[in-house]
Amino acid sequence: MGFSQEIITDIDNIWQANLKHPFVQEIGAGTLPVQKFKYYMIQDYVYLIDYAKIFALGVLKSTDLQTMTQFANILQSTLTEEMSLHRQYAAQFNISEETLTSAEPAPTTLAYTNYLLSVAQTGGQAELLAALLPCMWGYEAIGKSLAHSPGAKHALYGEWIAMYSSSDFSALTEWLIQEFDKITAQQTNMQRTNLTNIFKNALRYEVLFWEMAYQEEKWLV
């Protein structure tokens, strides 16, 4: 068993909380109020702008061309395929691209992106992978779990589910898992504990992100 699998077995309660969050379940049932999805889509776009930069840092920290290429592929896929889905949704909601790009991050979005950027900038490749993995893997697992749900045929949510249950998204996630398992096979127990904590924190932020969208979180003042 690779180290990634060991981690998600250890923190199964957080993994399940992510999969089973009401926001996710209601997308699957096709019952999520559109207003919550609109809020999510805007915050997610803001999130993805910083998230894409982590892959750019992955390119920077790579020590071989093959790894550089893969990070560049995921960067490209995030900026084009994933974010263009958000741009399409924005157009349906009559939100201009400019409004989308300049939207203010909510507290949880800001905290999460700052966490990812800080880990990616101060750590090495292993830390960067530990921070990114829950984001990709969590969405891939959610996509697969909803692939045959009523939401998959929903006029609004169907495309979202199709994106994250696609074989392209799975292939990129699989590469990230393998890279993480390869790098952690050579790490000490102390390093592995640190990587587990990073993974765990990022996954907790994933759960908080759903909750933020479900509650349509706002700054107090």
Least separation, in Å, of the C-beta of 34 and ligand NSP? 18
Classify residue 149 by its DSSP letter.
S
- Inter-residue contact 107 to 219 (CB < 8 Å): yes
Given the complex with ligand NSP, which of 78 and 125 has the nearer CB atom?
A: 78
Q: Which of 127, 140, 179, 206 is catalytic?
A: 206
Q: Which is nearer to ligand NSP, 3 or 210 (CB)?
A: 210
Nearest CB to ligand NSP, comparing residues 24 and 126: 24
Q: Site residues (CB under 6 A) for ligand NSP?
A: 44, 47-48, 82, 135-136, 139, 206, 209
Residues in the chain: 221
Give the other-Cβ count within 10 Å of 151's Cβ. Answer: 22
CB of 186 to ligand NSP, least distance (A): 27
Cβ distance 69 to 135 under 8 Å? no
Rounded distance between C-alpha atoms, residue 12 and residue 14, angstroms? 5
Tell me whether residue 103 is exposed, middle or buried, using C-beta atoms within 10 angstroms of its C-beta: 0 to 12, 13 to 18, 19 or more.
Answer: middle
For 103, which DSSP code?
Answer: P
CB 89 to ligand NSP: min, Å: 12
Q: Compute, in degrees rounded to 10, the torsion defined by CA atoms 206, 211, 214, 220.
A: -120
Q: Is residue 217 among the annotated active site residues?
A: no
Shortest Cβ distance from residue 85 to ligand NSP (Å)?
A: 9
Residue among 82, 127, 135, 140 flagged as catalytic: 135
Q: Which is nearer to ligand NSP, 6 or 211 (CB)?
A: 211
Is 82 annotated as catalytic? no
Q: Which is nearer to ligand NSP, 97 or 193 (CB)?
A: 97
Give min distance, CB of 46 to ligand NSP, in A.
10
Residues contacting 183, CB < 8 A, separation 6+: 125, 126, 129
Residue nearest to ligand NSP (CB): 135
Query: Which candidate, 218, 136, 208, 120, places its Cα nearest to that of 176?
Result: 136
Which residues are marked as active site?
135, 206
